[in-house]
Chains A and B, each alone.
Chain A
Amino acid sequence: MPYTTLATSDTPALVIYLLDVSSSMGQPLGSATRMAVVLQALNSALRQMVYRSTKGSLVAPRYRLAIYAYSDQVYDVLGGVRTIDEVARWGSPDLKPLRTTETAKAFLQAERLLLREIPHMLDCPAPLVCHMTDGEYTGADPESAARDLMTLSIPDGNVLVENIFIADGLLDSDVTDPYAWPGINAATGLRNPYANRLRAMSSRLPPSYRSVLNESGYSFEDDALMMLPAETAELVGLGFQMSAATPTRAFR
């Protein structure tokens, strides 16, 4: 059954974050800037990974992370792939808004990284690429690059691509209670054309991930996709939680 390999120290999960740091990330989302909300959500996701990797006083290297921030260029925030215990020792990264949104470049860098990593992680959980953006790309169309990524596979399953789209009024009806929200599926009405593009670039939420999230009180349905219409800070947070939902030993 795909996506059931547990994230352990021997078989760590690889999560690649592609974070849009274009200048519009300086705009407000609630009482903070979008960038501040994203950094807080990323910090919460890292914290969740740390908690899931701590069983005493140590943090086990159950997750391996790469964080690419992209604007006109793609920036390597962690200086390569780092284990969660390393990231935990350094503390959360800090980012600032830059300029444009070269999304395709970010996906191409993710592909480069995955091609190098896959031969070394055949026993590991399928890698996850978590892409966060707040608007339409500049430069080349990222859809084909994202779809290419989704065809890469290891025995546990194809590479998962998640999209967190920070924008207003994406859905026909607001998500008033994230815990009761069933998620976006192929039939969900989306008002924004780019949101439709991102949906096409999003993997289906694997049952094992759904189980981990629903254990925490959420209500994702069978056909939910790995896409979050992040209209509020809470939904941004949920998007990043999803990226940390690779089953670990604790969830067997």
Chain B
Amino acid sequence: MPFSPQVDSNLQVGDQLLRFAAHPTARGMPHGLEGREATVYELAGGHRRWALKVFKPRYRLKQLVESTEQLRPLAAQPGLLVCDRLVLSPHDHRRLVNQQPDLSYAVLMPWIEGPTWWDAIMTRRSFDRLTSLRLAQGLANVLARMEANGQSHCDLSGPNVLLPGLVHEEMHPVQLVDVEQMCVPGFLEPPDVAAGSPGYAHPSGTDGSWGPLKDRFAGAILISEILGWSDPAVREASSRESFFDQAEIQTACPRCMVIRKALNVGWGDRVARCFDQAWGSPDVNGCAPFSEWAAAIYEQAEQEDLTLQPSLLANRAVMALLATADRFERRGERAAAVEVLAQAQRMAVPDSLDWKVVTARTKALQQGPGTQTRSIVNSSSSADADGGLIPWSQVSSGTTSSASAIYIAAFAAVAVVLALATLVLAPTLNSFGAQTTSQVGATLAWALASMGLACLIGIAQAVGFRKRLAPQRRIAFVVISALAGGAGGLVAGWLWSSGIIPDARSGAVLGALAGLIASLGHNSLIGGRGGGAKWVVWSTISAAGIWYLATSITWNLSYTAAIGEGAVGITLLTGLAHILFLQVAREVEF
């Protein structure tokens, strides 16, 4: 199984006992963050917090040992604290890696406290100008220093920029994480270089190539976002997880307008020019260097306007809505269909073919017979619209109870019919019994009587099992019951008449055989998926016992009384036995 730690479970790394910390907002889960290459867990140990980066199989590479050694000296550089790290190589941590193979080449490093830039965007966390300035300057300085050293992070994005400065005033305001792909002079290019994160990737794809300038575009966007964030208009205009959606990058989108205005008005023309340079650059080389960003933050500059480009709605969206309306119409929910078509019409370009189709469909629907009133506008949890859907909280043992009630009713009905028939037809039954025995012999008489009773029990069972039995199989089910009863009666009758078992024990043989044969046949019809063996055993044993009991009690009675009382008793006891079975063997689905 993949590595899946529990909250508070321990991990011994060298002489350090570490404990997996709980997720701050997900109940009962460890604090984990999954990225493209790995999942990072938060651990506590001693007085410190640690981050354990567990790589996915294809990224568990031996080179991580060497790159860790190369990264470690960079921890002294501002913003690169996570370079102080330890790799759990199979060579140095054999015991741990043998116990948990998924921890091969996992990396242990300091956990940086504080929100990520992504957190700030997600929560629309408001900043004053001073905070924006401190964070943006911190980031620009970190990146400028790295650029001066010929280094780049190579996967800059909101989640990879931590803001410890928002938690601890004394800390460097910005720290970078996810540094395994860093470009540093002397490092080898990693095998899988990230293509850039949505909202921060240069459209040319030139930041997909590993190199010292790779951060320039993503860094420019991040610095612009942080600077602009103190302006409420920027916060309001932001997309959910980054200010820009990737499709908007380097387009004259409304968000570009908003942020550019905020930069120009709030931070001056020189900053705005840095942004413009990145926004218009054909590749990452065309972006302003970070030293220029750092210098420009305080300077004033002029404002430049951008034009809006209305977003084009995909024809496929209109087609999807048409299909959805179609489905509503087929289900007879015309009001809902009209509502969906209205949405499609709003999306379609006026007078386009799509628009005409949608208009025609709407007209046809509206001219049809009266519409139903159900609305689709408020989606999600409206239980009233979900015919037949029951809240899980209302689940009780009702299903079993209702099944039991149906059973009792079915078997009781058969028993009542038998009792009445015995009372009303007593003389006829007596003469029929005598005639049958004399004409066909005792053996066949046993068989016929037991077949008739088994048939009635089969009917009662089929009523109880009706959900598990396809309608066309219900007759077969009853026939199997009857034949099983007949077979049991035939054997038992022969055993009795031949004197091998001359007492009520022959009833037990009858019951056992009938129960065995019937349950085997029923299993094949019901399509049992588990519980079948239990059903056979129970059916055989309970039928043997019930038939023995009934035969014993009625052994010395007249034919009519024996048939009547025996049949009623067997029917009722069989019903009760089935109910008991259902309670005990809950995995059986009938």
Chain A positions near chain B (C-beta within 8 angstroms): 6, 8-10, 22-27, 44, 47-48, 50-52, 54-60, 68-69, 71-77, 79-81, 85, 88-93, 95-102, 105, 109, 111-113, 115-120, 122-123, 134-136, 138-139, 151-155, 167, 179, 214-217, 233-234, 237, 249-252
Contact = CB atoms under 8 A, between A and B. Distances in A.
B380 A81 contact: yes
A79 B32 contact: no
Contacts of A75: 389-392, 394-395
B317 A50 contact: no
B4 A44 contact: yes
In order of increasing CB-CB distance, the 5 nearest A-B pairs are A80-B381, A135-B529, A217-B57, A88-B26, A55-B159
A90 B27 contact: yes
Nearest to B240: A9
A155 B27 contact: no
Given A57-B24, A249-B198, A24 B116 contact: no
A113 B391 contact: no
B58 interface: yes
A13 to B, nearest CB: 14
A190 B234 CA distance: 57
Contacts of B376: 115-116, 119
A39 B194 CA distance: 35
Interface in B55-73: 56-58
A113 B386 contact: yes
B528 to A, nearest CB: 9
Contacts of A101: 589
Contact of A119 (B4, B26, B321, B383): B321
A89 B27 contact: yes
A74 B27 CA distance: 26
B340 interface: yes
Given A57-B24, A100-B467, A116-B385, 9 more contacts: A50-B32, A75-B389, A75-B394, A85-B25, A95-B392, A119-B339, A216-B57, A217-B56, A252-B196
6 contacts: A47-B29, A75-B392, A115-B324, A115-B376, A151-B323, A155-B316
Interface stretch (B118-126, B276-284, B285-293, B411-419): B118-126
Contacts of A24: 529-531, 587-589
Interface of B: 1-2, 4, 23-29, 31-36, 39, 56-58, 115-116, 118-119, 122-123, 158-159, 162, 194-199, 201, 239-241, 245, 314, 316-317, 319-321, 323-324, 327-328, 331, 336, 339-340, 343, 347, 376, 379-383, 385-395, 399-400, 403, 467-468, 527, 529-531, 586-590
Nearest to A251: B36
Nearest to B585: A23
Contacts of B199: 249
Classify the secondary structure of B's interface with A.
loop
B25 A88 contact: yes
Contacts of A93: 392
Given A56-B116, A76-B390, A119 B529 contact: no
B317 A8 contact: no
Contacts of B382: 80
B381 A79 contact: yes
B241 A60 contact: yes
Contacts of B198: 6, 8, 249, 252
A249 B119 CA distance: 15
Contact of A97 (B33, B391, B586): B586
